[in-house]
Amino acid sequence: MEVCITSLLRDRGFKVTPQRLAIYNMLSSTKSHPNAEMIFNELQAMYPTMSLATVYKTMEILKEIGLVQVLNAGEDSFRYDAVMTNHPHVRCTECGQVEDVYDINIDAFVNEVSQGTKYQIMGQQFYFHGICPTCQRKNSN
């Protein structure tokens, strides 16, 4: 993993720094789709001098070299995902958590849209919203 990001950075003329590795490692080992602030908060314990600006700048680079994708699930901040396969996401409107939607084949649907529009489709994002199992349980009590 680190070999991968290390060489990807170097090949593009970016330097390999502890902050960048830490940010990418944190992101690739969580399924919480954190935003910049969540990443910043989590890393502050280990890297007390970490700055939010560094998180943003690093995300910009990681996006550029294709290691993260940016999510925009209708909130006021962007979330980040180190899983690069394009899958739908679902956000709980009560607790705010964002999860992956697994086992869904989107190709047929994407193809249908691609053929039905005059746009040259380059990508897509599917966002569902609803109530997560935990909040459903809370509500029924």
Partner DNA sequence: TTTTTTATAGAAAACAATTATCGAGTAGTT
Partner DNA sequence: AACTACTCGATAATTGTTTTCTATAAAAAA
Binding residues (CB under 7 A) for DNA: these are: 9-10, 13-20, 35-37, 47, 49-54, 56-58, 60-61, 76-78
Q: How far is CA 133 from CA 10, 45, 67, in A?
A: 43, 31, 30
User: What is the rounded CA–CA span in Å between residue 7 and residue 15?
Assistant: 10
User: What is the rounded CA–CA span in Å between residue 68 and residue 28?
Assistant: 9
By the rule CB under 8 A, 136 interacts with its own copies: yes
Amino acid at 39: I
> Could you give the string, one character per residue 52-91, with x where binding to its own copies holds by CB under 8 A and - elsewhere?
------------------x-xxx-------------x-x-
- C-alpha 50, offset from chain centre: 20
- One of 4, 44, 46, 109 touching its own copies (CB under 8 A): 109
CB 34 within 8 A of CB 73: no
Which residue ranges make up the site for its own copies (CB under 8 A)? 70, 72-74, 88, 90, 92-93, 99, 101-104, 106, 109, 112-113, 116-133, 136
Binding site feature residues for Zn(2+): 92, 95, 132, 135
